[in-house]
Amino acid sequence: MIGVDTLKGQIRKALSGFYYVYAEGQTFQTRARGNFRNRKITPLVGDEVMFESDNLTDGYLLEVFPRHNELVRPPVANVDQGVIVMSMVEPNFSFNLLDRFLVTLEDKGIEPIIYLTKIDLLTGTETVSVADVQHVYGTLYPVIAATSVSDEGAVHLLEQYFPERLTVFMGQSGAGKSTLLNKISPELQLATNEISESLGRGKHTTRHVELLPLFDGLVADTPGFSSIDFLEMEATELPKQFPEFVEASHLCKFRECMHRKEPGCEVKALVETGGIAQTRYDNYLQFLSEIENRKPMYRKK
């Protein structure tokens, strides 16, 4: 039996009002103190916390430490990297959707890894090839191309990114996120659903979130969002989420260049010469207009 101790740990699972905190090699079942609600603090999986407990089942959270970042779907805090699972066919690869994921992760300070699936189903008649994707993103982010579901080499490459990091998975509906997670960790047995034929989209098969220790790191066992709108980002923040724009922008004539109509813009010059991919630039302009045209959000007091 342990005396009442104040301990520091990490929330690894949240379920039915209980928070399961990992500390000193053990998992403690805890609850949040009532004043958390008054202070508008909702503890999240991934949070570093202080808690008190005199046994493994009756602890209380005392404090949630400041977060580096947080995601809404899945609800996880302090994420280091995001694996974006994109299929080449069924559903077809989308530069626009991939850029949405990338911008969202960049905005949160989460390092992206691009994982391409269903390469074995390519017939050569598609508009986008693996080489095209590598060409656009290969210098910006890790790109792993899995020839098939059972591609051990691709999975092994991915696993090398896990040590000492908290990783979440996300990506296209029906691209095989759950299948990939099951491959990495068979004990997960995530519900994998076939793409619903009528919609051409994957069904949501997610449940509560748990962080699993895998390959000396932690992996959220629930795939995250499969579509994105930029609800909170300001227009001036958007150019900062494209690393190649950031690199070029110090040569732009204007310091706060939005790379749209300004003269002397290095980003536009690089798009002209092929130094920056046209698809990236087109998507940037589309996202910019989405942000500028969205309806104002009225936050409840």
Annotated binding residues for Zn(2+) = 252, 257, 259, 265
For residues 69, 171, 100 and 145, what is the CA-based torsion angle, rounded to 10 degrees? Answer: 110
User: Annotated binding site, which residues?
Assistant: 117-120, 171-179, 252, 257, 259, 265
What is the spatial distance between Cα 66 and Cα 89, in angstroms, rounded to a whole number? 41
Stated as kind and residue range, the H or E segment containing 154 is helix 152-159
* Cα first-last separation, the chain: 45
User: Annotated binding site for GTP, which residues?
Assistant: 117-120, 171-179
Measured CA distances, 157 to 108, 116, 161 (Å): 24, 12, 8
Place of tokens 């724009």: 245
Report whether 230 contacts 283 (CB < 8 A): no
Q: What is the DSSP letter of 120?
A: G
What is the spatial distance between Cα 199 and Cα 270, in angstroms, rounded to a whole number? 39
